């Protein structure tokens, strides 16, 4: 059974442990690949981490649009950060990503993005962000492991953007009983009431 990241915005306390942990990685020390947004400031303490969703079907949009094939995808579907030898800093991937994940280091003209802590996850270890996350808003494991801890959790890993459906490697936990509704970043394909443009 595949291990993946389950992202649960409902559990995020906005502490930014994931952001701090991400910048500890040896391959990009000092830079955090995680985006942490406070989503309803003024009305709520709600927060949400955005990490790479590792899109699988169709091929990850960032990799699709890369003119120099700098973004590697491994056999487990992990979409890597751009290879520094190849990346020309064009920023195509930044614009193509529906989740807003890759960023460009402007002075270096190189793209950086979450690679699921490839050095850890390819060995079966937990990525730094999910390892430290105090509340398991970022949880790394199999679906069985998730459900053992959270019997009521419902995960969504297909998102619609306009007419484009995207199957992702990581999943987002929908609010209880609402996996059929719209969720952050897009819509579930199972939604009963898709917006007009998606039907």
* Residues at the contact surface with another protein, assessed by CB under 8 A: 10-11, 13-17, 19-21, 23-24, 26, 29-38, 41-47, 91, 94-95, 100, 103-107, 112, 126, 128, 131-136, 149-152
Nearest to 175 by CA among 3, 33, 17, 46: 46
CA distances in angstroms from 178 to 60, 77, 118, 192, listed in the order given: 26, 27, 32, 11
- Least distance (Å) between residue 84 CB and another protein: 16
Closest approach, Cβ 67 to another protein, in A, equals 17
How many other C-beta atoms can be found within 10 angstroms of the C-beta atom of residue 20? 14
Bridge-partner residues for 164, per DSSP? 161
Least separation in angstroms between residue 71's CB and another protein is 16
Q: Give yes or no for a contact between 143 and 3, defined as CB atoms under 8 angstroms apart.
A: no
Compute the distance between CA of residue 96 and CA of residue 153 in angstroms, rounded to an integer. 30
Q: How far is the CB of 173 from another protein (least distance, A)?
A: 11
C-beta of 19 vs 198, nearer to another protein: 19
Choice between 134 and 195, CB closer to another protein = 134
Nearest CB to another protein, comparing residues 147 and 158:
147
Q: Which is nearer to another protein, 128 or 156 (CB)?
A: 128
């Amino acid at each position: 059974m595949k291990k993946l990241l389950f992202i649960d915005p409902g559990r995020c306390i906005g502490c930014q442990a994931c952001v701090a942990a991400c910048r500890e990685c040896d391959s990009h020390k000092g830079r955090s690949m995680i985006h942490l947004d406070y989503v309803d400031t003024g009305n709520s303490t709600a927060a949400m981490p955005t990490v790479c969703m590792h899109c699988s079907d169709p091929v990850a949009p960032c990799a699709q649009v890369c003119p120099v094939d700098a973004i590697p995808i491994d056999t487990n579907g992990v979409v890597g950060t751009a290879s520094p030898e190849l990346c020309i800093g064009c920023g195509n991937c930044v614009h193509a990503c529906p989740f807003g994940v890759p960023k460009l280091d402007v002075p270096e003209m190189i793209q950086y993005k979450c690679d699921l802590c490839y050095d850890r996850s390819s060995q079966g270890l937990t990525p730094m962000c999910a390892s430290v996350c105090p509340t398991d808003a970022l949880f790394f494991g199999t679906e069985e492991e998730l459900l053992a801890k959270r019997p009521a959790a419902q995960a969504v890993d297909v998102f619609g953007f306009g007419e484009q459906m995207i199957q992702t490697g990581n999943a987002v936990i929908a609010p209880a009983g609402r996996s059929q509704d719209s969720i952050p970043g897009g819509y579930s394909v199972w939604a009963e009431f898709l917006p007009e443009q998606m039907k």
